[in-house]
Amino acid sequence: MPTFREAWDRALYGPDGFYRRERPAAHFRTSVHASPLFAGAIARLARAVGADQVIDIGAGEGELGQAIKAVDPELAVCEIELDDELPARLNGLVIANEWLDNVPCEVVELDPDGRPRYVLADLSLGDVVEGNDLAWLDKWWPLAEPGDRAEIGITRDEAWAGVLDRLDRGVAVAIDYGHVRAGRPPYGTLTGFRSGRECDPVLDGSCDITAHVALDSLGGTVTTQREALRALGVTASRPGQELARTDPLRYVSELSAAGEAAELLDPSGLGGFGWVWTGTGEDAVRRASRALSA
Ligand SMILES: C[S@@+](CC[C@H](N)C(=O)[O-])C[C@H]1O[C@@H](n2cnc3c(N)ncnc32)[C@H](O)[C@@H]1O
């Protein structure tokens, strides 16, 4: 019986897997779909760190790139999707929005004897966890009670390290829902999405399967989307009533932008996502830290 991770990998990326057949936007909504204000903020961040290119990893159908081009046509965008080789060297601003939560990881559960064991594809428990997986668990997500579950972040850490290893000059930001050691969810976070609704994470390729990301184990500086976007100038303030009288069209457009900003900044929704960033070179680090702090 394969582990849950092996079956998850096949369900999403196997020959007939979910991501081989389906359009992501038909099944869930990310910050990119929520508002062009998100792309505007990414474009401003790129300029603030001195980048002339955004590299979008896990680009889906390229909606972020299209929205960036609309606000800053001079900014180059390089999209990386499934089966694309990551360029050997990366220069610029790397963005991975909701990529790592789709990188399958081992799911483990503490058995009645207090031993962490792999969860298998049929949800029964397999071998006892050992080696690097056990070391990761001890360091990042220790389990307390029988029945507690964890999602071992090594595959995500490695995927992200593969990006950072290539970063010559610039800043890389992973944006995802996640948690840090001080507040891990006791029963894990495995979820499915199908046609815009949450569903059981069934392993037959019929739905997206995702688990929150252990943000701190990626390495880098962790902040929230709310803090980051506010620092980049996204604000949910509503236009004054006076504008409704003097310029009704502008009033409606500003009101709608304020509503979109509120969704991006909502601390219990997209605003609660983590932004984990790393820069290479003193200049990039200094500029990113200035741009991303309020
Ligand atoms: C949840 S979607 C996010 C799409 C887009 N970034 C957005 O925010 O709307 C995750 C995307 O990551 C892509 N993906 C998964 N593994 C990948 C890999 N190893 N390299 C590049 N893209 C990958 C999937 O094909 C999918 O399009």
171 within 8 A of 48, measured Cβ to Cβ: no
What are the CB-based long-range contacts (under 8 Å, 24+) for 191-198? 193/27, 193/28, 194/27, 195/26, 195/27, 196/26, 196/27, 196/28, 196/29
CB atoms within 10 A of CB 115: 15
Q: Would you state the structure tokens that stand for residue 54, as one six-digit string?
A: 């955004």
pLDDT tens-digit map of 180-235: 999 999 999 999 999 989 999 999 999 999 999 999 999 999 999 999 999 999 99
Mean pLDDT, rounded, of the chain: 96
Rounded to the nearest angstrom, the distance between the alpha carbon of 112 and the centre of ligand 1 is 37
pLDDT bracket for residue 139 (50, 70, 90): very high
Q: What is the pLDDT of residues 9-34, one digit of tens each?
A: 999 999 999 999 998 888 889 999 99
Residue 277, SS3?
strand
User: Does the pLDDT value for residue 126 go beyond 80?
Assistant: yes
pLDDT in tens, 151-163: 999 999 999 999 9
Tell me what percent of the residues of the chain surpass a pLDDT of 70.
100
Q: 240-253, pLDDT tens digit by residue? A: 999 999 999 999 99
49-83, pLDDT tens digit by residue?
Answer: 999 999 999 999 999 999 999 999 999 999 999 99
Secondary structure class of 124 (helix, strand, coil): coil
The minimum-distance atom of ligand 1 relative to the CA of 24 is 2
Arch. (CATH architecture) of 27-100+158-177+207-292: 3-Layer(aba) Sandwich (3.40)
Report how far residue 194's alpha carbon sits from residue 78's, in angstroms, rounded to the nearest whole number. Answer: 28
A 10 A CB-CB count for 173 gives 24
Pocket-testing residue among 102, 210, 270, 273, ligand 1, by greatest number of atoms within 8 A of Cβ: 102
